[in-house]
């Protein structure tokens, strides 16, 4: 299915849609990582944004439930050069395309993302509109320009936890995978948690919490709205 990505300054790209057809808008940005696309998709700091990946092939190792940086994706849309539809990895649980369908996300492939990135580096951040429904560049550009800007949006309120919680009380989510010789995969052991730390959630990534637990901390996570008194009451 054909899709159109239009920037508010009139630059546009045609490509092929994957995931769920429809329309979406947001500030467009780029990511130059060669791997870690699942972590990018689920990173709360990308809330409200359409992300373009500069690496030409995305999706080759699939998606799993373990490597998420939050409970689900936060991006508004995804722009890539080529989608791999036959992932190969022993930890893969879903293809990237099926993951997008599961979460009702729209992506576009067949875009020269390096050209797009050079344009964004020159012109700066701007809004974009991605659609399978609106394929007229002029109309799509107008919709990009009319979309909600990042400035003034309180995405922290959207991504922060509503309630305080203790991270990984059973110590089951913070263990690293290891590959012992000849015995397949197993889980690394954790050191005992000897200290207590309080982490504010302004969109904190799960891997930060994992690493803190691996270093021997009990981690109390509190909302972005937590007061100093509430933090001190936890006796970190």
Q: Give the CA distances from residue 98 to residues 20, 23, 75, 92, 108, in Å, rounded to whole numbers and listed in that order.
A: 10, 18, 16, 12, 14
Does the structure show a pLDDT above 60 at 218?
yes
CA distance 44 to 204: 7
| Structural domain range at position 189 | 160-232
Q: Residue 127 has which token pair?
A: 């809004």
CA distance 15 to 2: 6
CA distance 8 to 11: 7
Closest to 198 (Cα-Cα) out of 222, 224, 171: 222
In this structure, the answer to whether residues 91 and 115 fall within a common structural domain is yes
In this structure, the answer to whether residues 92 and 7 fall within a common structural domain is yes
Q: Are strands 82-83 and 126-131 parallel, antiparallel or unpaired?
A: unpaired
pLDDT at 177: 67
Q: Encode pLDDT of 167-204 as tens digits.
A: 988 877 887 766 655 555 566 678 888 999 999 999 99
Share of the chain above pLDDT 90, in %: 85
Q: What DSSP assignment string belongs to 30-86? A: EE--SS-HHHHHT-GGGTTEEEEE-SSEE-TT-B-SSS-SSSS---SEEE-SEE-SS
Which CATH number characterizes residue 56's domain? 3.50.30.20
In this structure, the answer to whether residues 28 and 138 fall within a common structural domain is yes
In this structure, the answer to whether residues 63 and 176 fall within a common structural domain is no
97 φ, ψ to 5°?
-65, -45
In this structure, the answer to whether residues 107 and 182 fall within a common structural domain is no
Number of domains in the chain: 2
Of the residues 101, 120, 152, which one is the last residue of a structural domain?
Answer: 152
Cβ contact 159:39 at 8 Å: no
In this structure, the answer to whether residues 171 and 144 fall within a common structural domain is no
Of the residues 90, 124, 152, which one is the last residue of a structural domain?
Answer: 152
DSSP state of 133: S
Q: Encode pLDDT of 124-175 as tens digits.
A: 989 999 999 999 999 999 999 999 998 889 999 999 999 999 998 887 788 7
In this structure, the answer to whether residues 180 and 196 fall within a common structural domain is yes
pTM of the model: 0.92
In this structure, the answer to whether residues 98 and 177 fall within a common structural domain is no
């Amino acid at each position: 299915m054909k899709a159109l990505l239009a920037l508010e300054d009139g630059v546009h790209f045609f490509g092929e849609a994957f995931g769920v057809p429809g329309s979406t808008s947001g500030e467009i940005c780029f990511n130059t990582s060669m791997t870690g696309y699942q972590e990018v998709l689920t990173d709360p700091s990308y809330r409200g944004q359409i992300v373009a990946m500069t690496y030409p092939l995305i999706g080759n190792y699939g998606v799993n439930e373990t490597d998420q940086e939050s409970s689900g994706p936060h991006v508004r849309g995804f722009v890539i050069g080529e989608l791999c539809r036959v992932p190969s990895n022993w930890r893969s649980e879903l293809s990237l395309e099926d993951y997008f369908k599961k979460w009702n996300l729209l992506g576009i492939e067949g875009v020269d993302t390096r050209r797009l990135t050079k344009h964004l580096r020159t012109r700066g951040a701007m809004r974009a509109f991605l659609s399978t429904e609106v394929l007229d560049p002029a109309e799509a550009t107008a919709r990009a320009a009319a979309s909600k800007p990042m400035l003034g949006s309180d995405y922290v309120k959207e991504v922060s936890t509503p309630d305080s919680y203790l991270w990984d009380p059973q110590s089951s989510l913070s263990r690293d995978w290891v590959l012992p010789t000849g015995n397949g995969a197993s889980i690394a052991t954790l050191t005992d948690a000897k200290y207590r730390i309080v982490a504010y959630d302004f969109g904190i990534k799960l891997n930060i919490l994992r690493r803190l637990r691996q270093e021997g901390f009990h981690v109390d996570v509190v909302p972005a709205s937590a007061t100093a008194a509430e933090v001190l009451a936890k006796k970190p």
